[in-house]
A and B are shown apart, each in its own frame.
Chain A
Amino acid sequence: MRAALLVLAALAAAPFLGFGEGYVLTLLARAMILAMAAVSLWLLVGGAGLISLGHAAMLGIGAYAVVVLDDARITEAAVVVPVAMMAAGLFALATGAVAIRTSGVHFIMITLAFGQMAFFTTASLAAYGGDDGYTLYGRTTVLGHRWLEDRLVFHYLCLGLLALSLLGGRVLLDSRFGRVLRAAAENPVRVQAVGFSPYPYRLLAYGIAGAVAGLAGVLLANAAEFVAPSYLAWQRSGDLLFMVILGGLGSLQGAVLGALAFVLLEEWLGHLTQHWRLIFGPLLVLSVLFLRGGLVGLLRRG
């Protein structure tokens, strides 16, 4: 966990190291939020061996929960956060109940299909802007206070929740529950032969990961004060999956490293040239080919 701690410390110090301008903080907030979503996806991919290509749907449902409540003039975090996490978690449980009965490529395709269903549903929500998306009246309030409007408060909120999700993920994976999950990912027959049915463990993990992604969705909506169906698009799911793989499946902290590397690289290349995707794509391919074990693996060797 040392690399992740260093990264978190750097993020904590960032506002005092000359990165306090609005633009950089916005970028870092976005990176931290996606890192949180990547941590939740890592629990599925690296922990449970479930390769989901529909995780952006959980993120987007969390964000749309903010939209729906915002439209009803409800912005209180004590309402918004539980509603968003439950909405995303329940969507995960409902779709997972079907998807987890399959495995391998079928699981990937089913999660993709459910993700696209959620995407098209949000695109057809005319009351909330449909394709064009929805601009929030304001950020979520905490006990009636508009603290989240403050850049620094928001920065540290994202950082705190990212650290919490990382810690929570670590504890979960080390627990009895997590041990069954990890064992079932390695060898499901062995796990059944000692008396466990992997299904309920996997399903619950899927629900938990969905709820955490939903929380990240609340932050994402607040960061941009805008939500659009593109948050749920399968490309976003692919990005998240890529962050997880880029970071490395050997350790949960890989999700944080992968997400930050992904977002910052994307941003930096975008400044260099408008054809940045031509560089970004091959870089990703090369990283998969040569960074066995991802960034975490690189750090271990180094």
Chain B
Amino acid sequence: MAESILEVQGLRKRFGALTVTDDVSFAVAPGGIHAVIGPNGAGKTTLIHQLSGTLRPDAGSIRFAGQEVTGMGLARRARLGLARSFQITCVLPGFSVLENAALAVQARSGSSFRFLRAAADERALNEEAMAALDAVGLGARAAALAGALSHGEKRQLELAIALAMQPRLLLLDEPLAGAGPEETERLIGILRGLKRSYTILLVEHDMQAVFALAHRISVLVYGKVIATDTPDAIRADPAVRAAYLGEDEVA
């Protein structure tokens, strides 16, 4: 197996008496989609906050691309190539769709302590931003205000912003959350396309989507990773079925 892009070792997080992340260890290999699933309250959101740098773990370590990042914040990890999307849509509503993506391009191409030239006129930034929008099928909406997009389009924009960062790892926090059936279809199609060129850690509630997309799945229950394996093995794992899928359900 190739060297892992993300390595989590003995991660712990407590809120008072409640242990939300309990000695979590797993590794994400480059390429494809590694999914993290778990029932409500399993600690998925807390985990993703620790991975992206918005929450400090009490113990344990996170290595990203061979570098210790446990003490780094969101912005520094982003500069290293760890892009995350948000469960609750997090875009700049007063900016155009193109500018939302262009800001992400700007973050990785040269200094932003430049004061004279209009950023909106920088061709290189706009072209790369446009490419990211096209990759998620949002190119036609480039000039619209991000605040005026539909919910599904905002989810697409979240993805486009993450892609515009040219990340080494995409951390997607429930990208299908709140999307209708048609939008879900479209987003799954986009993710299927992306997994060919990106390494993705997908935290998702939608079982069907996860089993259709992921080549590896970690199951989180009460803050513990109880299994990490291929989708078929996960489906067959009795512990997983007992804890999560339900005794009688054959997914």
Task: State in angstroms the CA–CA spacing of A256 and B183 once bound together.
Answer: 46
Query: How many of B's residues come within 8 Å of A, CB to CB?
Result: 37
Contact B113 A193 (CB under 8 A): no
Contact B90 A204 (CB under 8 A): no
The residues of B with any CB-CB pair to A shorter than 8 Å are 52, 54, 73-76, 78-79, 83-84, 86, 90-95, 99, 103-104, 106-108, 111-120, 122, 161, 164-165
Task: State in angstroms the CA–CA spacing of A183 and B84 once bound together.
Answer: 17
Contact A194 B115 (CB under 8 A): no
Residue of B nearest to A187 (CB): B92
The residues of A with any CB-CB pair to B shorter than 8 Å are 171-172, 174-180, 182-183, 186-187, 189-197, 201, 204
A175-B119, A195-B76 are known contacts; what are 11 more A-B pairs with Cβ within 8 Å? Answer: A174-B120, A175-B118, A176-B113, A177-B115, A183-B92, A183-B95, A187-B91, A189-B74, A193-B78, A193-B86, A195-B104
Residue of B nearest to A172 (CB): B115
Q: Knowing A180-B103, A183-B95, A187-B92 touch, does A194 contact B117 (C-beta < 8 A)?
A: no
Contacts of A180 on B, CB cut-off 8 Å?
A: 103, 106, 112
- Min CB distance, B128 to chain A, in Å? 13
Task: State in angstroms the CA–CA spacing of A193 and B74 once bound together.
Answer: 6
Q: Knowing A176-B112, A186-B92 touch, does A193 contact B84 (C-beta < 8 A)?
A: yes
* Residue from the set B91, B113, B164 with the largest chain A CB neighbour count within 10 Å: B113
Contact B78 A176 (CB under 8 A): no
Chain A interface, >50% SS class:
helix
* Residue from the set B74, B90, B120, B161 with the largest chain A CB neighbour count within 10 Å: B74
Contacts of A195 on B, CB cut-off 8 Å?
A: 75-76, 78-79, 104, 107-108, 165
Q: Knowing A179-B106, A191-B103 touch, does A197 contact B115 (C-beta < 8 A)?
A: no
Contact B92 A190 (CB under 8 A): yes
Task: Give 22 A-B contacts (CB < 8 Å), ordered by A residue.
Answer: A174-B119, A174-B120, A175-B117, A176-B115, A177-B113, A178-B115, A179-B120, A182-B94, A187-B92, A189-B74, A189-B86, A191-B75, A191-B103, A192-B73, A193-B78, A193-B84, A193-B161, A194-B164, A194-B165, A195-B76, A195-B104, A201-B112
* Residue from the set B83, B86, B99, B115 with the largest chain A CB neighbour count within 10 Å: B115
Q: Knowing A193-B86, A197-B75 touch, does A176 contact B165 (C-beta < 8 A)?
A: no
Contacts of A191 on B, CB cut-off 8 Å?
A: 75, 103
Contacts of B104 on A, CB cut-off 8 Å?
A: 194-195
Contacts of B119 on A, CB cut-off 8 Å?
A: 174-176, 178-179
Residue of B nearest to A170 (CB): B118
Contact B78 A194 (CB under 8 A): yes
Contacts of B114 on A, CB cut-off 8 Å?
A: 175-177
Contacts of A201 on B, CB cut-off 8 Å?
A: 112
Contact A192 B74 (CB under 8 A): yes
Residue of A nearest to B114 (CB): A176
Contact B90 A189 (CB under 8 A): yes
- Min CB distance, B157 to chain A, in Å? 11
- Min CB distance, B123 to chain A, in Å? 14
- Min CB distance, B80 to chain A, in Å? 9
* Residue from the set B84, B106, B112, B118 with the largest chain A CB neighbour count within 10 Å: B112
Contact B106 A176 (CB under 8 A): yes
- Min CB distance, B232 to chain A, in Å? 34
Contacts of B73 on A, CB cut-off 8 Å?
A: 192, 197
- Min CB distance, B67 to chain A, in Å? 15
